[in-house]
């Protein structure tokens, strides 16, 4: 399990910045609980997430932490349109020149001299298209120079993975996966299993929807506003499903989000979870999922409940 720090970065996507000391304490609590991987990205609130992670790293033994960050989402140079956050436009740019500038900026923000895992954040598209061969070439150079130690790719499809493998090693991918979004199971998971690629999953709690804290009168904003499961009809169906989970929570003596994470861990030994948290107590709740031995029958029951929402 790794700690995801998108929300810790704050900003318009999350309706404002959080208390910085609480964010740092959250990262330190993750380390105390045995989480040794911290995931961030240059594009998380325009580098602010990396800055906060860097402040926490000053309080931790560097060799005990796996630092993972990403390249390819920029705002200070042009690229293919990505999205707008607040009043600032983000672009996709995986050119070798951009990646070299980005890695130096990330190292500076994080206050470290190497990055354990360096990922392409979103894959290149026209009109500022960079072939994967060129992107991998510069990543291999950075690896040879000791600036990064492993190469990853986020938000990829099967064809992307095959192309990455043509030009070098691909150590890890990052993909969206939750009990509500199981598309990754069809092709990505088998392909990664065949090629020995670790699958790191993000948004396992669907940006908080699977925490059980979202009420029926909730009005989504920020990064949640346009998500399919936060559309009112869908959101109410999910809330109903979570109420049906209560007997399972009682059986395993756990909370709803802990149960949702335990379900993911049950699906494959290849899967590693990235779980976000913005307070130390959320970290402790997430880590509890590692100690739940969900039965096959209960995992199947939960899957059937989720499948019923799609009918």
Q: Determine the average pLDDT of the residues in 177-186.
A: 96
Q: Which of 44, 177, 202, 252 is catalytic?
A: 44
Supply the pLDDT for residue 143: 98
User: In the predicted model, is pLDDT for residue 302 greater than 90?
Assistant: yes
Residue that wins the pLDDT comparison between 219 and 252: 252
Question: What is the pLDDT at residue 147?
Answer: 99
pLDDT in the model for residue 14: 83
Considering only CA atoms, which of 91, 52, 84 is closest in space to residue 69? 52
Looking at residue 290, its pLDDT comes to: 94
Q: Answer whether residue 2 shows pLDDT above 90.
A: yes
pLDDT at residue 169 above 80? yes
Give the lowest-confidence range in 149-153, 210-214, 257-261: 210-214
CB 90 within 8 Å of CB 83: yes
Of 128, 123, 126, nearest in space to 155 by CA: 123
Query: Can you give 22-33 as a three-state secondary structure string?
Result: HHHHHHHHHHHC
Task: Give backbone dihedrals phi and psi of 283, rounded to 5 degrees, phi first.
Answer: -60, -45
When the pLDDT of each residue in the chain is averaged and rounded to a whole number, the result is 95
Q: Is residue 44 annotated as a catalytic residue, yes or no?
A: yes
> What pLDDT does 3 receive?
97
pLDDT score recorded for residue 221: 79
Whether CATH 2.40.50.140 fits 2-170: no
Q: What is the pLDDT of residues 7-66, one digit of tens each?
A: 999 988 887 888 999 999 999 999 999 999 999 999 999 999 999 999 999 999 999 999
- Least confident window among 7-21, 45-59, 183-197, 246-260: 7-21
Least confident of 36-45, 113-122, 224-233: 224-233
Residue 284 has what pLDDT? 95
pLDDT at 79: 95
Of 219 and 295, the structure prediction assigns the larger pLDDT to 295
Question: Quick check: 283 pLDDT over 90?
Answer: yes
Q: Listing from the earlier edge strand, what are the strands of the sheet with 80-85?
A: 73-74, 88-92, 80-85
Q: Tell whether pTM > 0.85.
A: yes
pLDDT at 64: 97
Per-residue pLDDT at 59 = 98
Q: How confident is the model at residue 5 (pLDDT cuts 50, 70, 90)?
A: very high
DSSP string, 199-254: EEEE-TTGGGGGGS---TT----GGGTT-GGGSHHHHHHHHHHHHHTHHHHHHHT-
């Amino acid at each position: 399990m790794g700690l995801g720090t998108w929300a810790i970065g704050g900003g318009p996507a999350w309706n404002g910045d959080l208390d910085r000391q609480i964010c740092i304490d959250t990262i330190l609590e993750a380390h105390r609980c045995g989480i040794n991987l911290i995931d961030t990205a240059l594009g998380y609130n325009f580098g602010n997430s990396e800055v906060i992670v860097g402040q926490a790293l000053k309080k931790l033994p560097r060799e005990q932490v796996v630092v993972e960050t990403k390249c390819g989402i920029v705002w200070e140079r042009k690229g293919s349109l990505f999205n707008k956050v607040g009043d600032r436009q983000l672009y996709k740019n995986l050119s070798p020149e951009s990646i070299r500038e980005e890695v130096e900026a990330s190292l500076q923000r994080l206050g470290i001299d190497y990055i354990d895992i360096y990922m392409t954040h979103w894959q290149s598209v026209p009109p500022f298209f960079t072939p994967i061969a060129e992107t991998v070439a510069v990543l291999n150079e950075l690896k040879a120079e000791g600036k990064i130690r492993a190469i990853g790719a986020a938000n990829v499809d099967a064809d992307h993975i095959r192309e990455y493998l043509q030009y070098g090693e691909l150590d890890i991918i990052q993909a969206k996966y939750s009990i509500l979004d199981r598309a990754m199971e069809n092709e990505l998971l088998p392909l990664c299993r065949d090629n020995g690629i670790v699958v790191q999953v993000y948004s396992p709690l669907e940006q908080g929807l699977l925490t059980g804290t979202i009420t029926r009168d909730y009005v989504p904003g920020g990064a949640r506003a346009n998500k399919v499961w936060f559309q009112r009809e869908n959101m109410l169906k999910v809330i109903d499903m979570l109420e049906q989970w209560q007997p399972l929570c009682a059986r395993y003596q756990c909370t709803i989000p802990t149960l949702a994470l335990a379900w993911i861990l049950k699906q494959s030994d290849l899967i590693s979870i990235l779980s976000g948290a913005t307070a130390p107590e959320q970290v402790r709740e997430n880590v509890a999922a590692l100690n739940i031995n969900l039965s096959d029958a209960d995992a199947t029951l939960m899957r059937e409940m989720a499948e019923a929402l799609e009918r």
